[in-house]
Amino acid sequence: MFGVSTVSGRCTTRSCSFTSSIFFFMHDLPSSTENTFVKYADDLTVCMPISSSLHPIEMNEFLSRIDCWSVGNGLILNPSKCQAVNFSMRHERNINTFLRSHNACAMGDSLINSVSKVNYLGVTFSSDLSWSSHVLSLSKKVFRLTYYIKRLHALGITRHLLLQFVNSCILPIILYCSPLFFPGLLRKDFAVLRRVLKAVSKMCGESFEAIINMVVDRHLKSCKLLAGVI
The residue extents of the domains of the chain are 12-126, 132-229
159-172 residue pLDDT tens:
899 999 999 999 99
Q: Does position 62 have pLDDT exceeding 50, yes or no? A: yes
Angstrom distance (rounded) from CA 101 to CA 108: 19
98-138 residue pLDDT tens:
555 555 777 777 788 878 888 888 999 998 889 999 999 99
Mean pLDDT for the stretch of residues 7-30: 44
Q: Does position 13 have pLDDT exceeding 60, yes or no? A: no
Please give the model's pTM, rounded to 2 decimal places: 0.76
Percent of all residues in the chain with a pLDDT value above 70, rounded to a whole number: 75
Angstrom distance (rounded) from CA 61 to CA 204: 56
CB burial readout 6-42, b (16+ within 10 A) else e:
ebeeebbbbbbbbbbebeeeeeebeeeeebeeeeeee
